[in-house]
Amino acid sequence: MEAEFALHVDGRRRPLTVDTRTTLLDALREHLGVRAPKKGCDHGQCGACTVLVDGRRVTSCLTFAVASTDVEITTAEGLGQDGELHPVARAFLEQDGFQCGYCTPGQVCSAVGVLSEVEQGWPSAVTPDVRSTPGLDDEEIRERMSGNLCRCGAYVNIVAAVREASP
């Protein structure tokens, strides 16, 4: 069964008609030509497909496109403004937080989500006191970014990039 609807992607309304079983990742890549989110494992385990939905991290390979109609979807392509890189993307460049680059869009979106979570005071599994405002030391960064895998092993530089981008 097909459905006709629109997605709000990177600040633009994008109409499409797809099978109701189509994932957000496939809708973005195959139907709308948005190439930033990558298909890695297609099981929500690697994070290559991470996008922001209303500012929160989402694995787009596990999300149905039809369930994403009333939200703002932001991919790594939509993070920058006026031709300038988002501060997190710039930190990834400055800290060499990538090697092959396949996972980088998902890593960058996830890092933006991490910074937002910390700003909102959300604890993680390694936050010593969940009643306190969490800091963002390397252990916190590693825990919060653990859903995003890098096959090249650029983790040291990814952690440095997130640390640099944090306030």
Tokens of 149: 């895998």
Could you tell me if 95 and 151 lie in one domain? Answer: yes
CA angle 57, 120, 94 (to 5 degrees): 60
Residue 82 located in a structural domain: no
Residue 21 located in a structural domain: yes
User: What pTM did the predictor assign?
Assistant: 0.95
What is the pLDDT, as a whole number, of residue 167? 87
Of 43, 77, 111, the domain-final residue: 77
Residue 73 backbone dihedrals phi, psi, to 5 degrees: -100, 125
Provide the domain limits for residue 52. Answer: 2-77
Q: Say which CATH number the domain at 134 has.
A: 1.10.150.120
Could you tell me if 16 and 40 lie in one domain? Answer: yes
Residue 31, pLDDT > 90, answer yes
Could you tell me if 17 and 40 lie in one domain? Answer: yes
Of 19, 50, 77, the domain-final residue: 77
d(CA 95, CA 164): 8
Could you tell me if 63 and 12 lie in one domain? Answer: yes
Q: How many domains would you assign to the chain? A: 2
Q: What is the pLDDT of residues 70-120, one digit of tens each?
A: 999 999 999 998 889 999 999 999 999 999 999 999 999 999 999 999 999
Residue 143 located in a structural domain: yes
Could you tell me if 45 and 100 lie in one domain? Answer: no
Could you tell me if 43 and 94 lie in one domain? Answer: no
